[in-house]
Structure 1
Amino acid sequence: MSLLGVQQIGYGSVSNKAKKAMRQTIRDWRMNWRSNRTLEEIATKVNPVIRGWINYYGRFYKSEMHEVLKHMNRALVRWVQCKYKKLKRHQRCATHWLGKIAKRETKMFTHWQWGITPPTG
C-alpha cells in the first residue's frame, strides 16, 4: 500500500495472460516433433525469443519468469525423450541427462545462463 491507500502494482511484472502466451509459444514450437534436429539447432532457434522475454519481463521481477523458463526445460525434456529411444519412457533419466548437459554447456540456452537448469540427479 502506498501513502495514498492505493495498492501499487509492480511495473514490468509478468501478467498471467503474458505467461500463458509465452507457454503457448513454447508449445507452438513443437520441439518434440523435431527429433531430427540437434540440441544446438534448437538453441539457436529459441534463444533470441527467450532472451527477448528475459530482457523485457525479467528486468524488474525475475522470479515471475521462472515458471515459464521451467516450462521450457520440460519441453526440452520431452524433446530428449522423443530423440533418444532409451529415454523414451524415463522422464527422470531424460531430465538428469539434460541437466548434465546444462551443467557442462551453461551457455547453450539463455535461461540456463540465468540458472534455470534441469536437475542433474
Structure 2
Amino acid sequence: MHHRTSLTEKDLADCINPIVRGWMNHYGAFYRSALYPLLERINAYLLRWVRRKYKRLRGSRKARTSWNNAVRKRPRAFAHWAWVTHAPTVW
C-alpha cells in the first residue's frame, strides 16, 4: 500500500475502505480487540505512504504533525479511523 504513491488520498481510501469495513463488521462483532493491532498497522502503512508521497514530510515529526492534522480535518476519510486514529511510533 505504501508504494502506491501515484494515488491520491481519496483513491487510496476508496481501495482499502470496503475491505477494512468488512473486517470491522465481521471480526469486530466477535473479537474486536484483536483488530486493534491490525488497524494500527494499516495506519503505519498510511504514514509510510504520506512520507513517501510528500518529500517535505520525510521527517518523522513533520509527518506526525501532518497525520494529526489529517485525522482532525477528515475523521471519516478512512473507515478504520472510527476505532483507531493513531499510528504506532515504531514504524
State the TM-score, normalized to the length of structure 2: 0.86
CA drift of 1:67 comes to 0.2
Looking at structure 1, the residues matched to 54 and 47 of structure 2 have their Cα atoms a distance apart, in angstroms, of 11
5 Å-filtered alignment, 1:67-82, equals 67-82=37-52
Is 1:96–1:118's contact at 8 Å kept on the other side of the alignment? no
> 1:24-78 CA deviation, whole Å, 9 max, x = no partner?
xxxxxxx222112111110000000000111111112212111000000000000
Is 1:87–1:93's contact at 8 Å kept on the other side of the alignment? yes
State the TM-score, normalized to the length of structure 1: 0.66
Partner of 1:97: 66
5 Å-filtered alignment, 1:7-22, equals none
Partner of 1:36: 6
Is 1:34–1:79's contact at 8 Å kept on the other side of the alignment? yes
CA drift of 1:118 comes to 2.3
CA drift of 1:99 comes to 2.2
Partner of 1:108: 77
Between structures 1 and 2, the one with greater helix share: 2
The alignment yields a C-alpha RMSD, in angstroms, of 1.4
Paired residue type of 2:74: E
Looking at structure 1, the residues matched to 75 and 57 of structure 2 have their Cα atoms a distance apart, in angstroms, of 22
Matched, 1:63 2:63: no
Structure 1 unaligned segments of length 5 or more: list them.
1-30
Partner of 2:86: 118
SS in 1 for 2:30: coil
CA drift of 1:84 comes to 0.7
Report sequence identity in percent.
Answer: 37
